[in-house]
Amino acid sequence: MLPSTNAICILILSISCVVNGKSNDINRPTVGIIRWDAWNLVHGQYDEISFYSHRAMSPEHFHYRLPFFAKVNSDTNVTINGDTQEIMDQEILYASYAGFDYWAFDTYCAFGPNCTTNSPYCAQYYQQTSTRYCPQNPAYGLYRYLSSRYIALINFTFVLLGSSPCGDEFQEYYIELMMHRQFQTVLGGRPLLYLFQFDDQEAQLCGGGWEGSRRVFDNFRQKVINRGLQNPYLVLMDGDIPRCKTRAATIGFDAISSYGLGGGGTVQGSPFSDEVQRSVQWWNAALQSGAKLVIPLSTGWDPRPRYEHPVPWVDQGPEHFLQPTAKELQDFFKTSLELTCTNQNVTEAQTVIVYAWNENSENGAALIPSIGNGTYYISALSDMLPMTC
């Protein structure tokens, strides 16, 4: 059984349920977590991506992974709609209770019916970067967050996606939001931004190649500074460390990271200790690469719902890792934060990015409270976050 909003509010009284604003000025590593908002309706019908999420999670054997706000109508019929203010308010309280400092919202293009768009960046995204990924209201979570009375309990930033961040209209939109008092900063006030799914095709559309893309992003930096903000701290996400390092340097980004690690495991399910082992190996390799680093932490990998009911934008198999215990999750977080503390010359931003809050159909241990796990994971994290160096 999940605690009510009032119960969670009582639980977090020790960190103050009075909304005074979450400070960016703290002397410890911050912990951010990725949001993938694909659990909504548009005009009473599931949005393009939410349709596939709903279909993948409808079989009874995946109901335990449904977010807490889902309703199970039968063994094969569920209702999922997270696009209400009440649900967002509850999510903020849950995330704050767990000890997270900020959400990193995935920032997809918004499309019209049948994937229509006037933006070449958005057209390129659903045609090449992520096939038929064309939701009509992908920012519903962000809008609900910005309207919440609890907004000051958790900061926010973006995982920018594809080539759309190169467009002037998108840049202006991001800068307006970067001026919000809850926007996450690092290194004494630098706005923090991540970029994912930026490959050769995206660089070509952005600036005619990688060198040209650097000019585009340098211009974006200057726009931000001209609005009275500090130079943004830009992080490129790519699981291939040497490639990410080279590309980040070419386009003038400050650090590298990864959107989780993805893949791995076995059909039968590998123990979570295997996920930890490969993550630590990746972290150590990245620390030794010579690039600045934001450590990525993957709480799980289990895309079996998408294997049984395929989605058009990615082809995934049944290989997966088993869910972690509370102790395994706590130890995993501690290891990532200890490495962040002890390698400050490399992990200069002093932040960790977690995959993921609500990627329930891909991550087998998404941290949003679920029908099966309740508040098991966020309660475990609340016992050890925040963690000082």
389 inside domain: no
Specify the DSSP element, H or E, that contains 49. Answer: helix 48-57
DSSP H helices in 296-325: 304-308
Section 248-274 average pLDDT = 97
Q: What's CA 134's distance to the chain center, in Å?
A: 18
Whether the per-residue pLDDT at 42 is higher than 50: the answer is yes
144 inside domain: yes
Whether the per-residue pLDDT at 14 is higher than 60: the answer is no
Between 86 and 3, residue with greater pLDDT: 86
Specify the DSSP element, H or E, that contains 8. Answer: helix 5-11
CA–CA dist 94, 67 (Å, integer): 12
- Determine the structural domain holding residue 169 and report its residue range: 36-383
Lowest mean pLDDT, pick from 125-129, 223-227, 323-327, 384-388: 125-129
277 inside domain: yes
Whether the per-residue pLDDT at 374 is higher than 90: the answer is yes
Tokens matching residue 27: 């002397």
Task: Establish whether the linkage from the previous residue to 386 is cis, with ω within 30° of 0.
Answer: yes
Section 166-195 average pLDDT = 98
> What is the pLDDT at residue 33?
98
26 inside domain: no
- Are 295 and 336 a contacting pair, CB within 8 Å? yes
166: which DSSP letter? G
Whether the per-residue pLDDT at 383 is higher than 60: the answer is yes
Section 211-229 average pLDDT = 98
Whether the per-residue pLDDT at 18 is higher than 50: the answer is no
Specify the DSSP element, H or E, that contains 168. Answer: helix 168-178
25 inside domain: no
135 inside domain: yes
Instruction: Kindly state the percentage of the chain with pLDDT values over 90.
Output: 92
CA–CA dist 248, 169 (Å, integer): 23
Measuring CA to CA, which residue among 197, 199, 151, 156 is closest to residue 37?
Answer: 156
> What is the pLDDT at residue 25?
62
Summarised one tens digit per residue, pLDDT across range 322-351 is 999 999 999 999 999 999 999 999 999 999
- Are 265 and 302 a contacting pair, CB within 8 Å? yes
DSSP sequence for 325-379: PHHHHHHHHHHHHHHHHHTTTTSTT-EEEEE-SS-TTT-TT-SS-BTTTBTHHHH
> What is the pLDDT at residue 51?
97
CA–CA dist 376, 384 (Å, integer): 14
Tokens matching residue 263: 């893949």
> What is the pLDDT at residue 27?
83
- Orientation of helix 326-342 relative to helix 272-287, angle to 10°: 10
- Are 353 and 33 a contacting pair, CB within 8 Å? yes
Whether the per-residue pLDDT at 12 is higher than 80: the answer is no
Measuring CA to CA, which residue among 219, 218, 187, 214 is closest to residue 198?
Answer: 214
> What is the pLDDT at residue 19?
43
CA–CA dist 185, 21 (Å, integer): 14
CA–CA dist 147, 151 (Å, integer): 7
Average pLDDT, the chain: 94
> What is the pLDDT at residue 37?
98
Handedness of CA 200, 303, 103, 120 (dihedral sign): positive
- Are 352 and 294 a contacting pair, CB within 8 Å? yes
Section 266-275 average pLDDT = 98
Between 2 and 46, residue with greater pLDDT: 46
7 inside domain: no
Summarised one tens digit per residue, pLDDT across range 111-139 is 999 999 999 999 999 999 999 999 999 99
DSSP H helices in 231-325: 241-250, 272-287, 304-308
4 inside domain: no
Section 61-72 average pLDDT = 98
CA–CA dist 93, 248 (Å, integer): 35
Give the per-residue SS3 of 137-163: CCCHHHHHHHCCCCHHHCEEEEEEECC
> What is the pLDDT at residue 21?
53
Handedness of CA 369, 371, 375, 377 (dihedral sign): negative
Rounded to a whole number of angstroms, the CA Rg of the chain reads 20
In CATH, what number is assigned to the domain containing residue 248?
3.20.20
Lowest mean pLDDT, pick from 21-25, 50-54, 61-65: 21-25
Total domains present in the chain: 1
Taking the chain, what is the end-to-end CA distance rounded to the nearest angstrom? 35
Whether the per-residue pLDDT at 357 is higher than 70: the answer is yes
- Give the three-state DSSP class for 30: strand
What pairing do the DSSP bridges indicate for beta strands 102-107 and 155-161? parallel
Contacts of 227 (CB under 8 A, 6+ apart): 175, 179
